[in-house]
A and B are shown apart, each in its own frame.
Chain A
Amino acid sequence: MKRPVVDVRHVGVTYVSGPVWSRRVTRAVDQITFEIAPGETMGLVGESGSGKSTLGRVCLGLTPATEGVALFENQWIGPKNKPPAGKLAVVLQNPEWALNPRLTVRTSVSEPLAILRRGTRKDRFDACRRALEMVGLDHSFANRYPHELSGGQRQRVAIARALVTEPRFIVFDEAVSALDASVQTQVLNVIKDLQQLHGFAALFISHDLAATRYVSDRIAVMYAGTFVEIGPARSFYARPIHPYSRALSASAHDPEAGAFALRGAAEDVSTLGCPFALRCPMSLARCHDERPELRDFGPTQVACHRAEETLLEERQ
């Protein structure tokens, strides 16, 4: 068994905010454990406030875990001990600010190599050209400035910049969310092709289950800082098991989604018992008292007291 690229064990992130007399403690990430194998793309689906971006930042060593341990290639990472430069990369949401407006595409894409002081300037520019080709942009783009590019093109340049050092791990944090529908698919296809070509491990964070399952091998669904379901992407094409996953899947694609409408609002998080209990259409008394653990159901793990019933229903 190859050792995992990213190994996260019982990680929690707690924020303390507010003035001294009325401190607020927010638990952004709550006891998360998972691994990402080399070459594997793990999807992380959740809404704003679910903690998915925070978890992404922990994996990059940008945010410290207040509990637990985050390992990159078996080394402990955090803001005070960053992983070696060039092994990690990130592609973020906003194409408008993905690139430094004052630098040409060539300078932006070759910067990670310049930081590593790898090769001569010519070598770096060659690497930049190759990276641009891989994302489907021809070399005439190298001399342009960001404002001359469309949103989709900027995201592609951001992806090229992420690839140029041949990293072991890339985090895509809502990388396609701000793009037009037709451009989204173009960029998703670019990502899929690069996964084949390059073999990097990746964490694909998104609120869109459909886009995530298109590019991921495995998917974890996150709610209020914990994983409620984690399993192979295939199983998210059929009906997922956890009620929250089902609601996400339904609201995205099925016009007759009425059956799985969620109640309440995103802030209705129950602190005792299952965090989803207040909004769940199938919650029982037990759900409000007892917090469900992640349990195995074949290749999938689900944290729901009624998972068995859901599975039985499926089979009928």
Chain B
Amino acid sequence: MDAGRNSILSQCSKAMRADPLMAIAAGVLALLLCVGVLGPLLPIGDPTAIGIGPRLAPPSPAFPLGSDELGRSFLPRVVGGILVTFQVAATAVLLTGALGAVIGLIAAYYRGRVDTIVARLADALFAFPAIILGLMTASILGPGDLSVIVVIVAATLPLFIRVVRSVALSIASREFVTAAEVAGASPVRIMAMHMLPNLMGALIIQFTYALSLGMLIESGLSFLGLGTQPPYPSLGSLLQLGATYLAIAPWLVFAPGVTLALTILAINLLGDGLRHAIDPLPGRALK
């Protein structure tokens, strides 16, 4: 970690100027998000209005992405799907980030037994496959957004704990932390004022990866019918629909599939770009 930078924002903007791919990814992501958020306001139709058109009709000027099995225009449903998938994943990941950061900081600050217990628990959770967890949770809590959030939290919490803990461990040994301890700073003050701000970079990077993972989980669970319930669209449930009617209405699979892939790709590229900017790996071609 470089002791030299002082603003995440300036690092990010510098990174975008240097790496066009990352800038494009960020742009695409922003576009998709805007479309999703502004969806209800755009003149694209009502995602829940049933029967306004022919069933399973191919794309036409009236129905730009065709219509689904209940005669709903597909375009607004896809747009709605973007928003729902993103919202659920983002909520879950923000929650997890906060929780993981606190746990990781405590483990790194107190070390010893506390740290060992936390590390082992995180490993155990990490070893559990997300889908199995999903099925278990859905059977207890019932299918729906809550189940999905719980699964995303469980699947991404270990990632956050690990990253925060490892960065925090190296920060905890830095001279300015020792100086603060000697000056009488309380553990909370040290964690909040000295450790947390210095791991924001790592945290943000982890956030982007966890977000893409969260979106995949949400779509996966929705595909299995355990996630977002009708009539609300989710990219996953739309994909499932497309799969069912693949033989007769193949266009129904493209829009949600492409959108999902594009969103996750954009998030990953953005995350990679951020990682190179904030925490570059040293490399040296000799001449």
Contact = CB atoms under 8 A, between A and B. Distances in A.
Instruction: Answer yes or no: are A and B bound together in one complex.
Output: yes
Interface of A: 60, 62, 82, 84-86, 88-94, 96-103, 108, 111-112, 115-116, 145-147, 158, 161-162, 165
Given A115-B189, A146-B3, A147-B5, A97 B184 contact: no
A168 B183 CA distance: 12
Contact of B182 (A89, A97, A98, A108): A89
Contacts of A115: 180, 183-185, 189
Contact of B176 (A82, A99, A145, A165): A99
A147 B3 contact: yes
B259 interface: no
Contact of B183 (A93, A94, A165): A165
Residue picked from B174, B180, B184, most chain A C-beta under 10 Å: B184
A101 B184 contact: no
B60 interface: no
B183 A89 contact: yes
B6 A112 contact: no
22 contacts: A62-B182, A84-B184, A86-B184, A88-B182, A89-B179, A96-B3, A97-B174, A97-B175, A100-B176, A100-B193, A101-B3, A101-B4, A102-B197, A102-B198, A103-B193, A108-B176, A111-B180, A112-B183, A115-B189, A146-B3, A147-B3, A161-B179
Interface in B5-32: 5-6
Residue picked from B4, B174, B183, B197, most chain A C-beta under 10 Å: B183
A100 B178 contact: no
Nearest to B8: A102
Q: Is the interface of B mostly helix, strand, loop or mixed?
A: helix
Interface in B139-192: 174-176, 178-185, 189
Contacts of A108: 176
B6 A102 contact: yes
Q: Interface residues of B toward A: which range?
A: 20 to 34
Given A96-B3, A102-B6, A116 B179 contact: no
A114 to B, nearest CB: 9
A115 B198 CA distance: 20
A269 B179 CA distance: 32
A147 B198 CA distance: 14
A101 B198 contact: yes
Contact of B194 (A85, A91, A96, A100): A100
B133 to A, nearest CB: 34
Given A102-B197, A102-B198, A116-B184, A92 B179 contact: yes
In order of increasing CB-CB distance, the 7 nearest A-B pairs are A85-B184, A147-B4, A112-B183, A92-B175, A97-B174, A102-B197, A145-B6
Contact of A97 (B3, B180, B185, B193): B3
A70 to B, nearest CB: 14
Nearest to A61: B182
Contact of A90 (B182, B185, B197): B182
B179 A90 contact: yes
A158 B179 contact: yes
Residue picked from A90, A93, A162, most chain B C-beta under 10 Å: A90
Contacts of A97: 3, 174-176
A158 B176 CA distance: 9
Given A108-B176, A115-B189, A101 B182 contact: no
A96 B183 CA distance: 19
A53 B107 CA distance: 25
Nearest to A107: B193
A67 B180 CA distance: 27
Contacts of B181: 62
Given A92-B175, A94-B175, A158-B179, A82 B184 contact: yes
A97 B194 CA distance: 12
Contacts of A85: 183-184
Nearest to A171: B182
A98 B179 contact: yes
Contacts of A93: 175
Contacts of A147: 3-6
A165 B181 CA distance: 14
Interface in B195-228: 197-198
A60 B178 CA distance: 10
A91 B74 CA distance: 66
Contacts of A158: 175, 179
A17 to B, nearest CB: 14
Contacts of B180: 111, 115
A163 B135 CA distance: 60
Contacts of B178: 62, 90, 92
